[in-house]
Amino acid sequence: MIRVSIDNELSYNVQQPSDFVFNIQAAKNQYQLIIEETLAFDPPLPFEQFTDPVLENRFVRLRANPGPLKVSYRATVGLNYMVSDPAVIQESPIAMLPMEAIPFIFPSRYCQSDLLMRMAQREFGGLAPGYSRVEAICRWIREHIQYQIGSSNPNTSAADVLVQRAGVCRDFAHLAIAFCRALNIPARFIAAYANFPDPPPDFHAVFEAFLGGRWYLFDPTELAPRNQVTRIGTGRDATDVAFATIFGTAQMTQMSPNVRVLEQSVEDVAVAIATA
């Protein structure tokens, strides 16, 4: 197990009474153990919490009055992510998919798989189905799409990225998801914390594909080892997992989601190399 430390601070200047919905807490699931965590607001404010019973997203809602607002989330999380032999991990026919995976084969706002179906078939349709085909999709994106900060905006979709040939982690994940769905592979967006020195500290975006009866994590950017990625939220695309949704008028003045790896065994290093 790898232990990571998360120290995330968000600061806002609230202009009028506003409602906030935050999704910044590490998810609790079989791959992540929350060893300790704190969530605080300055000024102190009452808040409500809700955890999605299916996707395990943890939402916090509060109302803030005009003035500065600081949100602090700190946690120590144990990560236990491993992949079995990729060579034996196969794709599942639609008829064999669990019903909860079905929503993730349809096009969504930022992942227009219906528009990319012809290209997906041309580039990847002839490859052997399974884990290796999803890896090939990620490799194609790294080779053909430039990682460039500032090249996209919150409205950029997978189809836009394909035209612009540039994007950031969010865009890489959206394009990979769209290609997977165009090949009838369920895929979903993962908002996460990750430890990477370049670019500067930021939230990270990766994705999961449903293969061999379970979900497997992939990172088309290869910015961080997959076994050091801490899941925050899961959804069809970025629409479902915004770290903050504001109903009112407020301006973000600071964002610093810092992540440190606290300890890593020899076995963990071997897994990191194998899954990179």
Closest CA to 190 of 56, 39, 83, 77: 56
Cα→Cα distances 269→102, 198, 275, Å = 35, 20, 10
Cβ neighbours of residue 84 under 8 Å, at least 6 residues apart? none
Is the distance from CB of 40 to CB of 69 less than 8 angstroms? no
Q: What is the torsional sign of CA 190, 194, 197, 200?
A: positive
Task: Give residue 236's pLDDT.
Answer: 97
* pLDDT given for residue 201 in this prediction: 76
Looking at the chain, list the stretches that DSSP marks H as alpha helix, in order from N- to C-terminal side.
117-124, 131-144, 158-164, 169-182, 266-275
* Segment 95-123, tens digit of pLDDT: 999 999 999 999 999 999 999 999 999 99
List the structure tokens of 236: 């069809």
CATH code at 86-241: 3.10.620.30
Domain definitions of the chain by residue range? 2-80+243-275, 86-241
Q: What pLDDT shows up at residue 86?
A: 85
- The structure's pTM equals 0.92
C-alpha 142: how far from chain center: 17
Identity of the residue numbered 66 = P
The answer to whether 175 touches 205, Cβ cutoff 8 Å, is: no
Backbone dihedral angles phi then psi of residue 19, each to the nearest 5 degrees? -100, 135
Please provide the DSSP assignment of 162-181 as one string: HHHTEE-HHHHHHHHHHHHH
pLDDT tens digits along 138-171 = 999 999 999 999 999 999 999 999 999 999 999 9
pLDDT at 267: 44
Residue 3's identity, in one-letter code, is R
pLDDT at 275: 39
Q: What is the pLDDT of residue 268?
A: 44
DSSP at 256: E
For position 276, what pLDDT does the model report? 39
Q: What is the pLDDT along the chain (276 residues), one digit of tens a residue?
A: 899 999 999 999 999 999 999 999 999 998 899 999 999 999 999 999 999 998 999 999 999 999 999 999 999 999 998 767 888 899 999 999 999 999 999 999 999 999 999 999 999 999 999 999 999 999 999 999 999 999 999 999 999 999 999 999 999 999 999 999 999 999 999 999 998 777 677 899 999 999 999 999 999 999 988 889 999 999 999 999 999 999 999 999 999 999 999 965 444 444 333 433
What are the CA-CA distances from residue 260 to residues 29, 31, 76, 78, 255 (Å)? 20, 18, 10, 12, 16
- Phi then psi for 120, rounded to 5 degrees? -60, -40
Tokens of 25: 């807490």
CATH of domain 2-80+243-275: 2.60.40.2250
Q: What is the pLDDT of residue 1?
A: 85
